[in-house]
Amino acid sequence: MPQISGLNPNESTVAELSDGRLMLNMRVGGNDYKRLASISTDGGMTWSEAYDEAALTDPVCQGSLLSAMVNGSHRLFFSNPASTTRTNMTIRMSGDDGAKWDKKNAVFEGPSGYSDLVLLSDTHVGLLFEGGLAKYFNGIAFRKVPIANIK
């Protein structure tokens, strides 16, 4: 994991980019509700200096990163409670290896926490996440989300 002065990244997730590089996406406290990312060009032996993922607002919570081929095009998907509180479980999608996360779908607006993504088909992703009515840890939910709805 990259060395980051004054920050303690943890609960990381990694995905392969379209050109074979790896992207490490990290939960981190004390970073103004932003996640960090780093890139490896050698299969994870070394990592670039970490940078802020300014588009990925995060309440210091685990997130999920998924690399997938969808209808012949490489896509990255990311899920987390996209807020400064653990609410608003959202899936974001990037078609340019994470340079922009301009497509999103708010899956659940209530209290939410940890999540995990899986590609179900060329048309759907699956999202398993903590979600509840009063607290994020009051339940576990699964949503089958049409990729066409991530816009």
Cite the active site residues.
11
Phi, psi of 86, deg, nearest 5 = -80, 75
Amino acid at 76: L
* Residue with token string 């088909």: 121
101 vs 98: CA distance, rounded Å = 6
Q: Where are the alpha helices (DSSP H) in 7-122?
A: none
